[in-house]
Structures are given as C-alpha cells and as structure tokens.
Amino acid sequence: MTEPGSCAASVHLRSVLEGVPAYTPGKPASAPAGVTAYKISSNENPYPPLPSVLETVREAAGEMNRYPDMAVTALTERLARHLDVPAERIATGPGSVGVLGQIVAATCENGDEVIFAWRSFEAYPILVQLSGARAVPVPLTATGRHDLAAMAAAITDTTRLILVCTPNNPTGPSVGHEELAAFIAAVPPTVTVVLDEAYLEFVTAADAPDCLALHRAHPNVVVLRTFSKAYGLAGLRVGYAVAHPPLAAALRKTAIPFGVNSLAQVAAIASLDAWDELRERVSALVAERARVVAALTAQGWELPDTQANFVYFPMGEQSGAFAAACQEAGLTVRPYGSDGVRATIAEPAANDALIAVCAAWRQTH
Ligand SMILES: *Cc1c(COP(=O)(O)O)cnc(C)c1O
C-alpha cells in the first residue's frame, strides 16, 4: 500500500519558484583526523557572546512562553538614540535578510525590476525572484567593485529597487562616498535605493560612504544593518532598516508579525550597551585582516580590497580545488562555483592556517 505522504505532489505552486535558486549556507566545520576544524564559511564573529549579553538572554528565556513585543519598542527607541534618527524611521526584522524581504514586498510586484551588482549577497536574487520581480544583475568590475555607472545605465521605467552592498559580500570593497552620492543623485526619486551595510563596523577605507548622511539627504535611500556580524548575534536573527516614514511604515506592514523574537530584542539592546567591549573585538578582527592581507600580498596574491571580515580569492576554475585544499587543512571556506572563494577572518590560529594553505597553494600552482 502506498503511504499517503509519498503521493506525487499535485498542489499548484507559483511558476516563479522554478527560477529561484536555493540559498547555500556556509558548510559546518569539518577536518581530517588530527587537524583542527574552523568554520570560516559564513562570516560569523568567532568570539563567544559577551557574559553581559548572555546573562540578559538567559533571563529573557524564562519568559519564552510569552509573545515578544510586536512593535519592538525598546530596541527601536535604543536604536533611534544610538543613530540619532527619529524612532519612526526604524523598522526591524528577523535578520537584515528578513528586513530586505519586507523592503522587496513593500516596493515590488510582478514584472518590476530590481538592480543589484553581481556577484553580491546570494539572498538578493532569491528575495527578488520570489516577489515576482525581475532581477537585473550588473557585473562587478575586474577588481570586485560595484560598477555604479553601469548600474545607473540599467535603470528603466520599471525599476523599483536598487541594492548596493557596501562592503560587497563576497568580494570585499566598499563603494566610495562621492561616487555613491553622485549615483544616488542620478536615481529617480521614486526608486528605492538600499545601502546594505552588514559589514559597516569593519570598514576602514578613508573614502567609505556615510550612508546615514545619504539617507538623511534623500527620501528614497534606506540603510540596512544587522546584529549578525560585528555584534555577534547571527543565531538570534535581528536586523533593521533606517527608512523615511512612508517606507518605514510600509516595512512594518510587510513584516511577519512577531518576527523579531524576545531574546533577540534584549540581546540587541544589551549589545548596543556593550559596544565599547564589542568594538575591541572588531578592532582585533580588523588587525587580523590587515595581518592576513599583508601575508597574502607578500606571497604574491592579488586580491580585491577587503573592508569586511573576510577575504575573497578570485580563483575562477580553480575555486573548487582551492576550497578542497583549504578543507584538507581544516578550513571550511565558501566557494562560489567557478567565480572564487570567500574565507572569513576568524581567530588568529584559523588565520594562520589560512596563510599556510595559501603559501602551499602558490608553491604548487
Ligand atoms: C550577512 C549579511 C547580511 C545579514 O544577514 P542577517 O539576516 O542580518 O543575518 C546582510 N547582508 C549581507 C550582504 C550579508 O553578508
């Protein structure tokens, strides 16, 4: 007899799903026997939670039978103070990926166009295509930078949304403030521009954009930020947008009710309170990034300028083989087909292992 669950599915599914790629998460750590395993595939913060943040979460866990504050009131007010913007401009969500889903749902429908650089964050084409809108990927330059002129040239009457990832995941460069300001000035005011600053806290470039200033100056500019990377809360899922009131209100409408859980809400507040401590960790990671980049440059590697907590190897067809060599050394990295490989800057021992794999690779290739 056939089990009911094994019948071929006959329910109607939206045709757009056929073209939607599945999200490929960073693989978990694994290593050959006797080799220390490091997961450097998801740009996570390698440090464990701060004791003060963990204690706040432990306390809140005692009330997990209750729904969270749906309006995320305390965190929204804390963020408004932290950023010096009115609270009505803050919209939160389950990770900045969740908030981006809210932005797409608020701005796009069937047949609309969304422009983003490519290769960039892999959630972009997924969220755009799910909405029924058309993804318009614009190739990065040879040095892994956004080609803002080409992105401006791609704008049409049906463009509703433009995503700028600065610094760009997975290649690493941030866009320049002046070029971004000029780009935004050329975008029609009805088109929403999202500035995804997931790695903001790691940026040291002198010409890095002041995205909040661009938001203040332009009603169509939205800043997107997360607690997942520098703040080390990836597992709790909380991010936010800073948007002008009409769009911010729309983002609250398109949010999944109670999407930001109660532990995430208190952990984000505690992390903002503990920023001085967290900032030291971010500084340590930025120093490690400089050490890794200097070592790789001395080995002869020519890599895109990274402003984030990762380095990108544009290996082309050798990407798979290079990722396998890293895996042999206990380093689980993130390969992107035949484009390149991304490796997260983590604790010094993991970074040492990465430097060693890269040295060995250059001697044999
Ligand atoms: C990691 C990342 C995010 C953050 O995702 P969360 O949903 O907040 O964890 C957003 N944008 C980019 C480009 C990222 O790399």
- Cα gap 330→29, rounded to integer Å: 8
Q: Cβ neighbours of residue 202 under 8 Å, at least 6 residues apart?
A: 167, 229, 230, 282, 285, 286, 289, 307, 308, 309
Which atom number of ligand 1 is nearest to the Cα of residue 165? Answer: 13
The answer to whether residues 121 and 42 touch, using CB atoms and an 8 Å cutoff, is no
3-state secondary structure of 43: coil
Which atom belonging to ligand 1 lies closest to the Cα atom of 96? Answer: 8
Q: What is the pLDDT of residue 7?
A: 62
The residue type found at 267 is A
Distance 17 CA to ligand 1 centre (A): 22
Q: Which residue CA neighbors atom 11 of ligand 1 most closely?
A: 198
The crossing angle, in degrees rounded to 10, of helices 51-61 and 262-273 is: 150
Residue nearest to atom 6 of ligand 1 (CA): 95
**pTM of the full predicted structure?**
0.96
Walk along the chain (365 residues) and give the pLDDT tens digit of each residue. Answer: 455 555 666 899 999 999 898 888 888 888 889 999 999 999 999 999 999 999 999 999 999 999 999 999 999 999 999 999 999 999 999 999 999 999 999 999 999 999 999 999 999 999 999 999 999 999 999 999 999 999 999 999 999 999 999 999 999 999 999 999 999 999 999 999 999 999 999 999 999 999 999 999 999 999 999 999 999 999 999 999 999 999 999 999 999 999 999 999 999 999 999 999 999 999 999 999 999 999 999 999 999 999 999 999 999 999 999 999 999 999 999 999 999 999 999 999 999 999 999 999 999 99
Q: Name the token pair of 48.
A: 């464990």
Please report, in angstroms and rounded to a whole number, the separation of the first and last CA atoms in the chain.
57
Return the beta strands (E) in the chain as ranges: 38-39, 90-93, 113-118, 134-139, 159-165, 192-196, 221-226, 239-242, 310-313, 331-332, 334-336, 340-344
- What type of residue is 249? A
Kindly state if the Cβ of 268 falls inside 6 Å of ligand 1.
no
Q: How far apart are the CA of 268 and the centre of ligand 1, in A? A: 15
Query: In this structure, which residue's CA is closest to atom 15 in ligand 1?
Result: 169
Q: How far is the CA of 123 from the centre of ligand 1 (A)?
A: 8
Cα separation, 60 vs 304, whole angstroms: 42
Please give the structure tokens belonging to residue 14. 């939206």
Ligand 1 atom showing the smallest separation from residue 228 Cα: 9
Which one of 97, 202, 342 would you pick to mutate in the ligand 1 pocket, going by the greatest count of ligand atoms within 8 A of its CB?
97
With a 6 A CB cut-off, is 234 part of the ligand 1 pocket?
A: yes
User: Tokens 């020519």 sit at which residue?
Assistant: 302
Q: What would the two tokens of residue 3 be?
A: 């089990």
Pocket residue to mutate for ligand 1, from 41, 118, 196, most atoms within 8 A of Cβ: 196
Q: What share of the chain is helix, strand, coil (3-state, %, to 5)?
A: 45, 15, 40
